Chain A
Amino acid sequence: MLEPVLTVTGLRKFFTVTRGFPRSRTVTVRALDGISFRVRDGEAFGLVGESGCGKSTAGRAVLRLVEPDAGEIVFKGENIITVGKERMRALRRKLQIIFQDPYASLNPRRMIGKALIEPMRVHGMAERAACEERAKALLAEVGLPKNAMMRYPHEFSGGQRQRIGIARSLTLEPELLVADEPVSALDVSIQSQILLLLQRLQERRRLAFIFISHDLGVVRYFCQSMAVMYLGRIVETGPIPDIFKEPLHPYTRMLRDASPVPDPQVKVAMLRIEGEVPSAVAPPPGCHFHTRCPHVMPICRTVYPEWRQFDDARGVACHLHAN
């Protein structure tokens, strides 16, 4: 069994939001309500769920791009929540992120070469000339021409910009990449190009990934294990083949069965419409999913199910699978 490169325990982040006019009130969004997971060395770990489930907050909290309220994030034996500023800066080299929107994540006034060289200079990795060589090599690695160095983001298509984003995330030789919906904004044919590129990089560089996505097909293809989130909590974790073969949590099953399959012979589950989908502002009492669950029992309405760990990787929080 491979050693975990990252262990997250009890990670919590609440946001307070002021809403309403003219009489505003302050509400608390429980974006991360104590989540725990592990990412093994060289593994792509999928974080899956629908909008508002907290998956992006989780990815950002791991890099301390949002400061968590509580919990531990241990990266290679070091709790990055408690380390000092200097040490955190050094650790950031090892932890990088790829964003969803390749349009918004590049500075439109900065040439690609500069965007790639700057992080290396900031971290004092090499002299200017060496940095430039490295930047060119990275562009080649992600399938862009060398002359991209002297061009601006608007000169590139969406897929090319995502390649630039990937090249930039690799400038500091990271060991863990957080990829936040890296292919969601792309067309199908470009999406597969980027997935293949990420896969090649993962193999060649033995990168670990936290791969955040709402698309179960993409996660099944790219990741080795995953966690399913619902309203700020993880409801199921496990290796990819096991989860897809036999989802334990009814929500995981619902997600899987509602995902469209490009085959008219496979009928996608037609879901009935039930009331409103609850939000992380006011999660329902008991199991958060009980309002939509086809197997709801009386206990589900009052008690949040305890986490049950089956083996090293597989775990679920559901009264159907209680001890």
Chain B
Amino acid sequence: MAADAPSDAPILAVENLVTAFRTGGGWHPAVRDVSFVVQRNETLAIVGESGCGKSVTALSIMRLVPQGNGRIASGHIRFAGRDLVDLPDEEMRKIRGDRISMIFQEPMTSLNPVLTIGFQIAEALHYHRDMGRAEANAAALELLDQVKIPSARQRFADYPHQFSGGMRQRVMIAMALACRPELLLADEPTTALDVTIQAQVLSLLAELKSAYGMAMIFITHNLGVVASIADRVAVMYAGEIVELAPVNELFARPTHPYTELLLRSIPRVDRDASGLSAIAGQVPSIGAMPSGCRFAARCPLREAICTTRDPFLVPLADAPDHQVRCWVRSPPAEAGHA
């Protein structure tokens, strides 16, 4: 499939991505200096609160940033060795839905209400794989079985409104997986679902991911979901990655003050009520980003340098795969790093 890159290279490498939006007359970056890689067969979770840039990162990879008011301002998105940023639209269309696909939070608004479920799944196969109607339908039916839609054959010609929320999300997964993508972007796929249905969808995703050997970027605001599905985690705050680490490392040793406080502000279902801490203040708005560290105003560890100079994402001395953007907790090794 990916003859254009050696198989041990990461399937996706995002380098210094900046995606900007036009608000109030000026261009403001919603995503700033974001870099990460995703290996084949790996799940990277991107976690953060509303407006932190996690969805914009995914839309940038899909090249679905709304034209006109949004643009990828700089950086590279290397997918299987090719830079998607300056790929012609025609080429991008061939990749989108075939080698990279995406599932969204609200399955009802992302399914076409006047087309049957079966048609919508078969469409991708028809388009990308040049399959005939009968062949595509047979493959679509198999996909419905794989996502465990009961009596798939009878439900094949049903419309989205005849399905429950959990089943619609499984249909979305079937659509996304139709062409056996190498990379799946899942943007809050379980947020609108009840907790028991969420558990079902998460286990289905994990199962299919390893069956297909695909890479997955899982976007969520829920650190509990991150803990159960991710291999590595990127924590985003105000458009930047503030911490990037393997999942066990991140939860055992949250190092950025934001990550640490966030973990302490979640009421846990597995513990009796204990101290809950809150993060004072709120996220700065996109048009009024402070200079220096963007979390500084809410940070209990703030020092003078934090409000004047931008911190870098720096690997910890004893854990090179654990990177933190913080002057206090993870200062650059040598002075004058800038």
Which A residues are closer than 8 A to B by beta carbons?
Answer: 50-51, 157, 159, 187-193, 195-196, 214-218, 220-222, 240-241, 244, 254-256, 258-273, 275-277, 292
Contacts and interface: CB of A to CB of B under 8 A. Distances in A.
23 contacts: A187-B49, A188-B265, A192-B266, A195-B278, A214-B195, A216-B195, A217-B266, A220-B272, A221-B268, A241-B272, A259-B269, A260-B225, A261-B228, A262-B223, A262-B227, A264-B227, A264-B230, A264-B251, A268-B202, A271-B200, A272-B203, A276-B150, A276-B164
Nearest to B203: A270
A196 B274 CA distance: 12
Contacts of A190: 282
Contacts, number: 142
B194 A262 contact: no
A273 B148 contact: yes
A46 B273 CA distance: 14
The 10 A-B residue pairs with the shortest CB-CB distance, nearest first, are: A260-B224, A221-B267, A192-B265, A270-B203, A50-B194, A187-B49, A189-B279, A258-B199, A262-B223, A217-B269
A261 B150 contact: no
Given A192-B267, A220-B267, A260 B227 contact: yes
Given A258-B199, A263-B227, A277-B164, 20 more contacts: A50-B196, A157-B282, A159-B282, A216-B269, A217-B224, A217-B266, A217-B268, A218-B267, A221-B268, A240-B273, A262-B223, A262-B266, A264-B228, A264-B247, A266-B227, A270-B199, A270-B202, A271-B196, A271-B199, A273-B200
Contacts of B198: 258, 260
Interface of B: 49-50, 148, 150, 164-167, 170, 194-200, 202-204, 206, 221-228, 230, 247-248, 251, 261-263, 265-273, 276-280, 282
B262 A189 contact: yes
Nearest to A52: B194
Contact of B194 (A159, A195, A214, A217): A214
A262 B226 contact: yes
Most buried by A among B148, B165, B228, B251: B228
Contacts of B251: 262-265
Contacts of A255: 195-196
A258 B166 CA distance: 15
A73 to B, nearest CB: 28
B228 A195 contact: no
A320 B241 CA distance: 50
Most buried by A among B202, B248, B265: B265
B197 A277 contact: yes
B148 A264 contact: no
Contacts of B196: 50, 254-255, 258, 271, 292
A185 to B, nearest CB: 10
B224 A268 contact: yes
Contacts of A215: 267
A233 B222 CA distance: 29
Contact of A244 (B194, B197, B272): B272
Nearest to A262: B223
Contact of A276 (B167, B267, B276): B167
Contacts of B277: 192
A197 to B, nearest CB: 9
A189 B247 contact: no
Contacts of B276: 192, 195-196, 221
Nearest to B207: A270
A241 B271 CA distance: 9
Most buried by B among A189, A193, A259, A275: A189
Most buried by A among B204, B265, B269, B271: B269
Contacts of A193: 278-280
A262 B263 contact: yes
Contacts of B199: 258, 268-271
A215 B268 CA distance: 10
A92 to B, nearest CB: 30
Given A220-B269, A270-B199, A259 B164 contact: no
